Structure 1
Amino acid sequence: MVHGTEQEAFWEGSFGNEYTDRNRGPRLVAANTALFSHVLCRTRNVHRVLELGSNIGLNLMALRQLLPGARLSAVEINDKAACELTANLPDVDLHRASILEFQPRATWDLVFTKGVLIHIDPGKLPLVYDLMYCSSSRYVLVCEYYNRKPTEVTYRGHTGKLFKRDFAGDMLDRFPDLSLLDYGFVYHRDPNFPQDDMTWFLMEKKGMLMNMEEE
């Protein structure tokens, strides 16, 4: 498949396969379950969830434990990862596509990324922000590497493949009716449920917040 950015080709190819082989196992699912249990405490009525860049489904496995009745959907560019996701979670509505090419035909209560926006061409981020905002009926979650100023970091010897910034700040500035609901950080040396120094931000559409207060 031909894509418009070098990052898409990078993750669809052999490096994406190697990433899939490296990142797996019950400890990662347990750490994700702890993280999402904290996030979901601040939400209500989450029945439909979309993950952009799901890989083999480690985040969705955690969400399946926490939201057993929810309908889970995923977008994944790498064939190897997509096949494993289908094997791990056969009921997931999987869209085999690049995030930049995905055209949703529905909305979800929660739309999220985890360790994905950092690998998007910075010039394409507005497209992804718009996708997340428009495909969410209520909540948007970003769990990424945070930096106040946009910064490129060499990633396993590769340049142009990892970019840190204030992704949530970008979205809050871009969409005035988004409000910050909660945020947190998970340290790589957490004794029980470590993450890779990830910072997460849960946002909600203000219109939905007002409707909830009126109920």
Structure 2
Amino acid sequence: MITNLQESTWSGQFGKDYTDRCTFTPEELDDLYKREYGISRQEMNERFLSGLGLKNKRILEVGCNVGNQLRMLQSMGFDNLYGIELQQYAVEKAKSLTKGINIIQGVGDDIPFKDGYFDMVFTSGVLIHIAPDNINRVLDEIYRCTGKYIWGFEYYADEYTEVNYRGNSDLLWKTNFSKLYLDRFPGLELVKEEKFKYLNNDNIDVMFLLQKK
């Protein structure tokens, strides 16, 4: 059931246009990141995930769209991957593009898996699209579903800041998302965090890894 402006927007034509615009192979995704940040997504992933022993562990991406990030992880040898995605069009497209990845339709504030089912739950450019008045419900579900790690890559700002997104308001915000997690869940600790500045402007994204104590 559609419950807010963000979900209704992403479920409609606006979301379909995004999906068609942002479907990449792992190689294309790496090229995009190199142009944006001067570093590939694979290299970012290796900086954060190497040595954690997660290659065969259950990993969930919340807001996976067509599975760009999941396919990247699969190409790196991760083989127990799941995704949940709001937009049915993206889910159908993801299933045509992926093999051996379990992708289902659903929402981030009501994840249909039991407590601690995954060894890691992550987002990539998804928390930024969740309204501040709903963000805690999504964080709660991510925290509930992970047995150990939370991993994220999101736009960064010191304080909650709304950003106009393709001429629309109420669709994009940036903030310090790792701090949101840490302030809300005393049982989490920061393992690693790194900021990545865009090559062509002053915007900053941040990758962070948290774990349950």
TM-score (norm. length: structure 1): 0.86
Tell me the distance in 2 between the aligned counterparts of 1:139 and 1:151. Answer: 26
Q: Is the 8 A contact 1:141 1:203 kept in 2?
A: yes
Task: State the identity %.
Answer: 31
Structure 1 residue 29, shift from structure 2 partner: 4.6
Structure 1 runs, 4 residues or longer, greater than 4 Å off: none
- Of 104, 109, 120, the residue aligned with 2:119 is 109
Q: Is the 8 A contact 1:186 1:199 kept in 2?
A: yes
Query: Hey, which of these two has a bigger chunk of helix by percent?
Result: 1
- Of 82, 95, 102, the residue aligned with 2:91 is 82
CA distance 1:50–1:42, shift in 2 (3 Å): same
Partner of 1:183: 193
Tell me which moved more, 55-64 or 24-33. 24-33
CA distance 1:27–1:188, shift in 2 (3 Å): farther
* 1:156 counterpart letter in structure 2: R
Tell me which moved more, 32-41 or 15-24. 32-41
* 2:2 counterpart letter in structure 1: H
Q: Deviations over 1:45-101 (max 9, x none)?
A: 451100000011110011102234x31110111122111211121321122012223
TM-score (norm. length: structure 2): 0.87
Tell me the distance in 1 between the aligned counterparts of 2:103 and 2:14. Answer: 21
Partner of 1:209: none
Matched, 1:61 2:68: no
RMSD: 1.8
* 1:18 counterpart letter in structure 2: D
CA distance 1:200–1:120, shift in 2 (3 Å): same
Gapped runs of 5+ residues in structure 2? Answer: 32-39
- Of 125, 132, 147, the residue aligned with 2:142 is 132
Partner of 2:42: 33
* 1:155 counterpart letter in structure 2: Y
Tell me the distance in 1 between the aligned counterparts of 2:103 and 2:23. Answer: 19
Q: Is the 8 A contact 1:52 1:112 kept in 2?
A: yes
Q: Secondary structure at the match of 1:201?
A: strand
Partner of 2:211: 204
Gapped runs of 5+ residues in structure 1? Answer: 191-195, 207-215
Q: Is the 8 A contact 2:156 2:204 kept in 1?
A: no
Matched, 1:51 2:58: no
Structure 1 residue 7, shift from structure 2 partner: 0.1
